[in-house]
Amino acid sequence: MIYADVKELLPQQPPYIFVDCIVDISPSDATTLMQVRADSPLVRDGKLQEAGILENIAQTCAVHIGYYSDDIKIGVVGAVPSLEIMRLPRVDEILETTVTVTAEVFNMRAVDVQVCCTGTPIARGSMKISLT
């Protein structure tokens, strides 16, 4: 596990922190962990909703950018050309989210994403992030 205070890498503040720690990071990809908590604003009926999965992915992208940058940049989800969510994770499950940069042009970044619970993919797709 890589030590980094993810709160220092993200513009979001609690309770909208959807990344707990960085597991692996390189210039081309990042993997984070997040435990689904019952008090999360995006948990309903004991499950993290689609918006929570999307926020977890976006924050994994933000952590990756922040780790290699001198300042926190605000990213905006520009497009989600594909995102398949196979199931919603339950409270106390741990998400392992990996983003892989596939292209970077000016202030736009394209990534492939995969979210797993206990080694089983529960979401995958691609996303485009616009950086300020």
Instruction: Indicate the residue type of 70.
Output: D
Q: What is the pTM of this model?
A: 0.94
DSSP string across 45-106: TTEE-HHHHHHHHHHHHHHHHHHTSSS---EEEEEEEEEEE--PPBTT-EEEEEEEEEEEET
| Tokens representing residue 111 in the block | 């990534």
Among the residue ranges 4-18, 23-37, 89-103, the one predicted with the least confidence is 4-18
Tell me how far apart the alpha carbons of residues 126 and 95 are, in angstroms, rounded to a whole number. Answer: 17
Asked if 130 contacts 76 with a C-beta cutoff of 8 angstroms, the reply is yes
Q: Is the pLDDT of residue 121 over 90?
A: yes
Summarize pLDDT for 33-72 with one digit per residue, the tens.
999 999 999 999 999 999 999 999 999 999 998 898 877 7
Q: Identify the band that residue 3 occupies on the pLDDT scale cut at 50, 70 and 90.
A: low
